[in-house]
Chains A and B, each alone.
Chain A
């Protein structure tokens, strides 16, 4: 043990005090860091800060004005995300194993850090009153300090001494995720946080006992954690099923759309309409599709197939301009297209079966979407959009990426094209978009865009922002993808040409897959930037996460007065953004490493 300490001290000496300059730097930096920490902690703990302004407004932060009776939709969305995450972790379960000694060591080091910072924490801190006077008060009493120091010291000693025992086992690194997630969920049951209570006159009273966190948060999170765990095991079980991975990728792609519609609308469906009109139409078209698939290889039907096709198209044309219900019109269009495809695909019985499944699923989805989309929503949000707070931030980040990515691909291809006019136009669009800051585009969306739309056409501000974001992020994506395109050797184009592929096939089957794979890391960092940039909508008055912290809570006076407490909220907002972006960028770095080790 003594040797160990000696060794550590020696290496420390080498790294920190190798020369006079280095020693001076060490001391100066340490001094700066310690003082910065003391200042920050003192700033956070002085009595003019009210952290309840953050804690009490969690709901506002997350969903803004979303009605409380529909929270189940939010919880289900979060739950679904976690279930999918659990499945994915199970399916892509890594084979890396973490040594217990490593885990204990990191616990020990963390404990040491806490110890160090507890010791250097300031006892007194001062803040400036409105009259310029400096008020000093005790913020970190000896009791509190000891209250932290002693348990943490014990904790450290335990994990340090574990080193010298024989406890040595390895854990799967994927399993560790559950352990780390388990800690906060378990803490929800034990940690008690203060909440604000009001008396009859709406005066604020400081609650005597510490209140436990509301059950509305504790129980759902526990359920979600359990579901997460269960889906993890299911994922491990499903691991070897063919094409499960592509199914999962597709599910991840569709999940935001599902959550969006789920939170956006609670359809008030009139059952009589469903039974009277939707179901019969559904039945008729299901049967129609079934008949076509069954008899497509029948010789008589085959002979008159072109006549049948013509008749169907004619019927569709007539139907679309007649007074049929929307569902019937759309189904007609669909069956016409479907009939064209059928002969080509249903050559084998397997093809027929999968075609029938596709047809049924398409019809069900269509019926559901049309009926749901046409009905009124049961979610009423007074005076603002349904999405607000963190949900709006996510909406902007994810859908911004969704719409901008395809546009980015098109622009990149255009800029890389051999056709001069298309190349010049695309280059112009990309450069013009990129040379102007995002905020001016946001102003364009909020005040100017409406001018260009035909009279009578109006979009919600969020939609306009998404439209503009599509172009802005699209231009950045395009530049990244162009980098990937340029990295593809000329021989790949020639080989595709030589085997007779059409330009479209060449791009979609050969060039794009390779180009995208080459630029995944930069694309991820662009997406992270898009997430951070979504905070800019606060300037044009959308109620995103930042707006809630900066403006809404800072001006809140009912039911509790939090006017002027925007610094605490800003720190909280910064921490939340930091957690998300930091985790995302760390994950992407790991993925990048894995890709690098992979096929090339």
Chain B
């Protein structure tokens, strides 16, 4: 009798019910997901589009309006352009929106009637109109300007047309990456020096001028760097070259084992920690039913990861990391990564030169003489080859010489005499030995071949396309308005007593804001600010509406070409999740830092 009751009570056991219901829920959910995937498999079979990643390696055969490659040679490269275009708007947008938003937020607290009302008015307008409408409006606004064709060919200081906005800019040269890394390094160094001087100041109690020291060293190194010193950073590329050769030897199984052991290690450590906490004197090693379930769940998760790593998914991932082109047709593996670092961050970085608009807009050219062979040293402006340029129909021939773009050593030549090459074809590699990292230039209008169409020349000044301008201004203004609300709330959260205390110390309004109020307000402001940054990043996806080729627009073009909607969607998801995660990690980092200061 009693045993019978006990067996029955099993089904009324709270802990059992709790876990059973969860497991049923999970199994049900997995079943639903599985059945939908099954549907997808059947449906795709019927439409003859099997789920594949192969298109990443194929040439999409479409051009992109703007970005680092306008004629991408693979789906992967196209996606890359989309990602970079999105990040371009996001990163610059975040800085601009923060600046503008802070300004507007302070303006809204101004005692000046007109300033306050104007900023409030702007807030009410921008906040209550859908972002898409605003973006369309900015686009329509730029399109009001006359077409580029009515302007003369030549160089301008500032230029606005229906094709976009162009202005002078520091253009990047092949050595720019080296210079960025150098900048980062000397910034960190200056920071470290500042801390070191402060330490001495605290220890010995004498004036050590930490700020002057750090800023002096920073600018000293900056000047030294600008005149060639930045090439010191080439050591990174040098080392990366060796690492690249090293990791090239690693087989796929290495990564499978690596990830599995990491999972096992983490699982083991957390379980051990859990068990240790139970082993303590007070807990006396007693486990509740819940605790057993937790341990079992932990083990299951670890096993799942291990199984996954040794399944086709894990193998695919590992092949991807090895740089195996068979599975993904991509060269994004670990060796390729280090190889890329080696090329970009070497003392003499490598530049791949393509045939470009030097040919006065011709579509193709036949090489009649190639002068520079691998190993020769050329100076900028030297004649490298002589070609006969042809337009599309081939009825206009013109002899033109191609000049070297940079000073350096020719590494490899991809073409040979007699070839017919097209614009954007790779022609030769060069090890750049001498060039400034950045070069100031003014925008230039050029004519495309013998057609009447004109465009802003690449590499001369900076030209913002209509789409870029519209989406950038749109998201910046929209986010800035929300940031201004955050800033206002943050400042108002700092108690009135703080301001009064500051004023009684004789601080001016500006100094009060800068020294007392803002540092405290930032603590309140950071989390909502992070949310706004996330929104900004997501809102850049509206670029598709104004033909700005960011990741969504590029993805759409791609699946219209290939019919692979599902992989594109997965890429979108992965990319946006990564961006969101990165932004929130950075914000959380600063949030924590701020909290530590508080203590």
Contact = CB atoms under 8 A, between A and B. Distances in A.
Physical contact A–B (CB less than 8 Å): yes
A419 B22 contact: yes
Contact of A566 (B44, B124, B140, B573): B140
A262 interface: no
Interface in A434-455: 434-440, 443-444, 447-448, 450-455
A16 B110 CA distance: 10
Contacts of B581: 435
Interface stretch (B130-138, B214-222, B247-255, B340-348): B130-138
A294 interface: no
Contacts of B294: 420
B538 A437 contact: yes
Contact of A440 (B18, B552, B566): B552
Contact of A421 (B25, B36, B146): B25
A582 B128 contact: yes
B195 to A, nearest CB: 36
B136 A578 contact: no
A451 B545 contact: no
A592 B98 CA distance: 29
For the residues of A in contact with B, the DSSP-based class is helix
Contact of A128 (B46, B144, B151): B144
Given A16-B114, A570-B133, A539 B545 contact: yes
Contact of A437 (B44, B128, B140, B576): B576
Name the residue in A132, A434, A453 with the highest tally of chain B Cβ atoms < 10 Å from its Cβ: A132
Contacts of B541: 437-440
Nearest to B556: A443
B146 A128 contact: yes
Contacts of A577: 128-130, 133
Interface stretch (A71-79, A101-109, A512-520, A530-538): A530-538
Contacts of B118: 29, 32-33
A176 interface: no
A364 interface: no
A22 interface: yes
Contacts of A127: 144
B274 interface: no
Given A567-B137, A582-B128, A432 B552 contact: no
Nearest to A436: B576
Given A439-B541, A538-B132, A451 B125 contact: no
A487 to B, nearest CB: 16
B144 A535 contact: no
A25 B46 CA distance: 68
Interface string B137-148: 100110011110
Interface in B174-230: none
Interface centre among B26, B534, B573 (most CB of A within 10 A): B573
A131 B146 contact: yes
Interface string B471-492: 0000000000000000000000
A377 interface: no
A243 to B, nearest CB: 36
A339 interface: no
Contacts of B577: 432, 435-436
B580 A435 contact: yes
Given A29-B118, A539-B544, A436 B573 contact: yes
Contacts of A571: 137
A165 interface: no
Given A421-B23, A439-B544, A16 B112 contact: yes
B125 to A, nearest CB: 7
Contacts of A415: none
A532 B22 contact: no
A516 to B, nearest CB: 22
Contacts of A574: 129, 133-134, 137
Given A132-B151, A439-B552, A18 B146 contact: no
A130 interface: yes
B39 interface: yes
Contacts of B23: 421
A443 B21 CA distance: 35
A425 interface: yes
B307 interface: no
A132 B113 CA distance: 40
Interface in B515-551: 534, 538-539, 541-542, 544-545
Contacts of A18: 111-112
Contacts of B576: 435-437, 440
A578 B146 contact: no
A12 B43 contact: no
Nearest to B138: A570
B559 interface: yes
Interface string B144-182: 111100110000000000000000000000000000000
Contact of A425 (B26, B144, B145): B26
A422 B569 contact: no
Nearest to B137: A570
Contact of B140 (A32, A420, A436, A570): A570
A130 B147 CA distance: 7
Given A128-B146, A448-B569, A578 B128 contact: yes
Given A128-B145, A448-B566, A454-B39, A22 B545 contact: no
Residue of B22, B23, B294 contacting most chain A CB atoms (<10 Å):
B22
Interface in A1-57: 12, 15-16, 18, 22, 25-26, 29-30, 32-33
B368 interface: no
Interface string B34-56: 00110110111010000000000
Nearest to B145: A128
Closest 4 CB pairs of A and B: A132-B146, A437-B538, A132-B150, A437-B541
Interface of B: 18, 21-23, 25-26, 29, 36-37, 39-40, 42-44, 46, 110-115, 118, 124-125, 127-134, 136-137, 140-141, 144-147, 150-151, 294, 297, 534, 538-539, 541-542, 544-545, 552, 555-556, 559, 565-566, 569, 572-573, 576-577, 580-581
15 contacts: A15-B112, A16-B112, A16-B114, A32-B118, A33-B118, A130-B147, A131-B150, A419-B21, A425-B29, A435-B534, A444-B569, A448-B569, A455-B43, A455-B46, A566-B140
Given A16-B112, A546-B136, 18 more contacts: A25-B115, A26-B114, A32-B118, A128-B145, A130-B150, A419-B18, A420-B297, A422-B22, A438-B541, A439-B552, A440-B572, A440-B576, A447-B559, A455-B43, A533-B130, A536-B542, A546-B132, A570-B137
